[in-house]
Amino acid sequence: MTQLKKMADDVFDAMRGFVARKLETVVARLDALESRTPEKGADGLNGKDADETAIAAKVTEQVTKAIESIPAPKDGTNGERGLAGEKGADGRDGREGEPGRDALALDVLDAIDPTRRYQRGTFASHAGGIVRAFRVTDPLDGDLAKSGWTVVVNGIESEEEESPDDGRTVKRITRYTNGQTLVRVTNTGAVKDAGIYQATEQYLKGDGVTWGGSWWIAQRDSKGDKPDSGSGAWRLAVKRGRDGKDFTK
């Protein structure tokens, strides 16, 4: 919109200048007529009135001609494309960088001092793995990423095992450098003495019960399956012995 207004203003100024140049001769003649002595006009008017009437007619004629001589506007043609500038001189070659270090030659700190700050690119051993500073680090508050470290080699920080009270399960907890924890529960298959069989109890695989004088081991989790029912939930481990003879003197 601003460019369009500027273009209209330029066209108006050009037309005004053109008309002004056309009227220069008319103005000059008006000045000459005004300096003359008034005379009696042929039509009975006094000289001054006759001159003013003639001047008005002449001005109207000259203005009309000036306006008619203004060329009709038309679309301009596209300007010629400018010449491309000359190619500049080649820049100077940059300095060669320092030779890179072999990966095996990287200096890895033995540990991270949690109270210190480290420069970007520092490698250090931490929690069983190797970490790298991706920015100037903050004192380590337990969260590697928030402190400015990233894990390069994810090692094992610690492992521990727990044995729940069921007597046959082992729980192993593994903690890694990046803070992840893996928990694995393993059933050792150890037999657990579950006492005398009760039909209302829930038995797990490996439970051993006494039933009918014999000892049975559960082959699967079950509830309400009697050991001697033939369902396959139990296996006879120790068979009841024969009754002894009555004692006599």
- Is the model's pLDDT at 105 over the cut of 70? no
Residues with Cβ within 8 Å of 69's Cβ and at least 6 positions away in sequence, in order, are: 22
Q: How many CB atoms lie within 10 A of CB 40?
A: 10
CA dist 248 and 229 (Å) reads 37
CA dist 50 and 22 (Å) reads 25
- Is the model's pLDDT at 37 over the cut of 70? no
> What pLDDT, in 10s, does the model give residues 117-144?
999 999 999 999 999 999 999 999 889 9
- All structural domains of the chain with their residue ranges: 2-68, 104-154, 192-238
The H-assigned helical ranges of 120-195 are: 144-147
CATH class of 192-238: mainly beta
The predicted structure's pLDDT at residue 44? 47
Read off the pLDDT of each residue in 19-28 and give the average, rounded to a whole number: 70
157 conformational bin, left if phi > 0, alpha if psi -120 to 50, beta if neither: alpha
For 104-154, which CATH superfamily applies?
Answer: Carbohydrate-binding module superfamily 5/12 (2.10.10.20)
Phi and psi for 144 in degrees, rounded to 5?
A: -60, -50
Closest CA to 123 of 99, 107, 142: 107
CA dist 172 and 155 (Å) reads 17
Read off the pLDDT of each residue in 49-71 and give the average, rounded to a whole number: 69
Q: Which helix (H) or strand (E) holds 165?
A: none
- Is the model's pLDDT at 110 over the cut of 90? yes
- Helices 2-22 and 24-34: crossing angle, nearest 10°? 40
Q: Are both 104-154 and 192-238 of the same fold?
A: yes
> What pLDDT, in 10s, does the model give residues 38-51?
554 444 445 555 66
Q: How many CB atoms lie within 10 A of CB 102?
A: 7
Q: Count CA atoms within 13 Å of residue 48 on its CB side.
A: 2
Helix (H, G, I), strand (E, B) or coil at 133: strand
